Amino acid sequence: MLRASGIQWDLRKVENYECYGEFDWDVQWKKEGDSLARYLVRIGEMVESIKIIQQALEGIPGGPYENLEIRYFDREREPEWNDFEYRFISKKQSPTFELPKQELYARVEAPKGELGIFLIGDQNGFPWRWKIRPPSFINLQILPQLVKRMKLADIMTILGSIDIIMGEVDC
């Protein structure tokens, strides 16, 4: 929504997190701010994602590899339906860590905008309070201004270009 309105903002470029700084890619943006601009930005982001994936694949070192999980499945045995190992064959133990007594906010670039997670820790394994800030909820707030004086067919196009996920809006 932001990049289709003339602002060249992408957290991957601004904060340079993970390994995005190692790849050659451009922030896709348009200045028109309409449904077509949002569509063209989305298509451009897909092209840039392919460029990032191709560069990442070229950077994977060669050499032999070994699938360690295949050893477990190669063992010949017939597990019983109620057997402990059968029920928890792919379950992994959750990591245990202690959240410090402070407020934490982390954000990443999601396909529809900024995805933020806010935590308040109290030196426990679980946060005292937490909030997820999904991009669809923020993008939905401008909908009343976008649909003013529009025809019904245009409203469907606008909703499609915003690409709202209703599960995110219900936060």
Residue 84 has pLDDT above 90, yes or no: no
User: Rounded distance, CA 144 to CA 24, Å?
Assistant: 38
pLDDT digits (tens, 9 = 90+) for 126-165: 888 999 999 988 888 899 999 999 999 999 999 999 888 8
Confidence of residue 91 (pLDDT cuts 50, 70, 90): low
Can you give the residue range of the structural domain that contains 51?
1-58
Structural domain contains residue 37: yes
Beta strands (DSSP E) in 2-149 are: 103-110, 113-120, 129-133
The reply to whether 43 falls in a domain is yes
Amino acid symbol at 157: T
Q: Give Dmax over CA atoms of the chain in angstroms.
A: 68
What residue has token string 């460029």?
51
**Confidence (pLDDT) at 29:** 96
Q: How many domains does the chain have?
A: 1
Is 82's pLDDT higher than 80? no
- Inside any domain, residue 44: yes
79 found inside a domain: no
Strand order in the sheet with 103-110: 103-110, 113-120, 129-133
The residue among 119, 103, 161 whose CA lies nearest residue 136 is: 161
Q: Is residue 31 part of a domain?
A: yes
The answer to whether residue 152 is domain-embedded is: no
Q: Kindly write down the DSSP assignment for every residue of 67-99, as one continuous string.
A: -HHHHHHHS-----TT-HHHHTSS--PPP---B
pLDDT score for 78: 58
> pLDDT (tens digit, 9 = 90+) per residue, 109-130?
988 889 999 999 988 888 889 9
- 29 lies in a domain? yes
Q: What is the pTM of this model?
A: 0.73
Which of 66-70, 93-97, 99-103 has the highest mean predicted lDDT (pLDDT)? Answer: 99-103
> Do 22 and 12 touch, CB atoms closer than 8 A?
no
Handedness of CA 45, 5, 158, 167 (dihedral sign): positive
Residues 6+ apart with CB under 8 A from 118: 103, 104, 105, 130, 131, 132, 133
Please enumerate in sequence order all residues whose Cβ is within 8 A of that of 20, keeping only pairs 6 or more positions apart, or say none.
Answer: 12, 13, 52
Q: For the segment 5-50, what is each residue's pLDDT rounded down to a tens digit?
A: 999 999 999 998 899 999 999 999 999 999 999 999 999 999 999 9
49 lies in some domain:
yes
Backbone angles phi, psi at 58, to 5 degrees: -65, -25
